[in-house]
Amino acid sequence: MRERFPVLNESVYLNTAYVGLASVELMEFRASFDRNYIHQGDQFKIKGYERLASQRETLATFLGSHPQNTFLTSSFSTGFRFVLDQLPANTKVLSLLEEYHSLENALSERGFLTKQLPLSGDIESQIESVLAIESFDVVAFSMVQYTSGVLFDLEALSRIKKRFPNILFLADGTQFLGAEAFHFENSPLDVIVGSGYKWLLAGFGNGLLSIKQSFLDFCAISIHHFEEKIYAGHFDFLAFASLIFAVENLSKNNYTALLKAKEQTTDYLRNKLSDRQLLHPLVISRKKHTSIFNIPGDESLHQKLFEAGIRASLRGDGIRISVHHYNTFEDIDRFFEVYDKLL
């Protein structure tokens, strides 16, 4: 597996939460796909549109959604704005403080009446308590909080949905899709949108979006209306094909086993962090966490880690590290060998 990702030979890559790695196979596919443009001309575009239906079916299978309600888009930011543009102007939105900036900006740009809650260890209960005393139409949030790695509990969201069935859950899945097992139709979410360049390892310029009938009913629009908005004008055939290639590649390489490998590496990392008392209180308080962690560190430490071949990101008040299925216990050991010496 690791030989497919050359960056792993050059560094300890703990930065998938920033950018997922490109595989050799993806680059070879992209080069071959792009060459078709040279030889096919107009047929390249015609075939691109003809492939769209089967591409949506592939994504729907991966997401556990209906093909007619599943779309390709250029990014989370674009897809989420398509979604918000369908909501009535007087929509009341409940969201979180210090959310992913593109999600926050998209909401503020549209002038919705919005209330933000601070992230807490019992965030789902906090949301439920607010909904019990205030009227909202939408709860908009990232399934995985990008700074802390806190994962929303789908079971808790299902409980809230059962109590407040008319509430719409609009979720950013960028740090979630490709990192966690998920079935959209069996979930309490009404909309999920995500970019493909992180955990799906699909490269840049692509994303995916799936909606339920509940969203269409609230907006009083048809699926045909929404589809026309999404696919107005041409799109990036290479980027879309790359997403499909990446999703199919995950399935071909036993996606369930890949997630299991990631989980084992995550547990190893978490135990090492716990031994050093580096786990954030938010993480400790949660029933389940992701493979994203934020540990103490400043810009100076981040630079020293980089110089030692450790790839990570400055986020919030610390350094964010993250592991995917291509990471190993040896990566974790090497990271702590460097980190411990620098403290």
Residue 248 C-alpha from the chain's centroid: 17
Structural domain of 31: 26-252
Q: Find tokens 């939408």 and name the residue.
A: 138
Q: Indicate whether 220 and 236 sit together in one domain.
A: yes
Q: Indicate whether 332 and 235 sit together in one domain.
A: no
Q: Indicate whether 76 and 218 sit together in one domain.
A: yes
Q: Indicate whether 154 and 57 sit together in one domain.
A: yes
Q: Indicate whether 152 and 269 sit together in one domain.
A: no
**pLDDT at position 210:** 98
Domain boundary among 219, 252, 285: 252
Q: Indicate whether 247 and 263 sit together in one domain.
A: no
Q: Indicate whether 188 and 227 sit together in one domain.
A: yes
**CATH at 311:** 3.90.1150.10
* DSSP 8-state symbol, 180: B
Counted domains in the chain:
2
Domain boundary among 196, 231, 252: 252
Q: Indicate whether 94 and 141 sit together in one domain.
A: yes
- CA-angle at 311, arms to 310 and 317, nearest 5°: 105
> Please, which pLDDT band fits residue 6 given cuts at 50, 70 and 90?
very high
* pLDDT tens digits along 11-36: 999 999 999 999 999 999 999 999 99
pLDDT at 1 over 90: no
* pLDDT tens digits along 207-245: 999 999 999 999 999 999 999 989 888 889 999 999 999
Alpha helices in the chain (DSSP H): 24-40, 42-63, 76-84, 101-109, 123-133, 154-163, 213-219, 223-230, 237-252, 255-275, 281-284, 299-307, 329-342
The count of C-alpha atoms lying within 13 angstroms of the C-alpha of 175, restricted to the half-sphere facing its C-beta, is: 28
**pLDDT at position 118:** 98
> Please, which pLDDT band fits residue 299 given cuts at 50, 70 and 90?
very high
Q: Indicate whether 51 and 7 sit together in one domain.
A: no
Do residues 272 and 67 make contact, with C-beta atoms less than 8 angstroms apart?
A: no
Domain boundary among 233, 252, 271: 252
Q: Find tokens 């993480």 and name the residue.
A: 283
**CATH at 241:** 3.40.640.10
Q: Indicate whether 190 and 324 sit together in one domain.
A: no
Residue 54 C-alpha from the chain's centroid: 23
Do residues 261 and 328 make contact, with C-beta atoms less than 8 angstroms apart?
A: no
Please state, in angstroms and rounded to a whole number, the distance separating the CA atoms of residues 339 and 343.
Answer: 6
Q: Indicate whether 7 and 56 sit together in one domain.
A: no
Sequence-separated (6 or more) residues with CB below 8 Å from residue 315: 146, 147, 294
Please state, in angstroms and rounded to a whole number, the distance separating the CA atoms of residues 243 and 196.
Answer: 6
Q: Indicate whether 239 and 205 sit together in one domain.
A: yes
Tokens of 267: 């547990």
* pLDDT tens digits along 258-278: 999 999 999 999 999 999 999
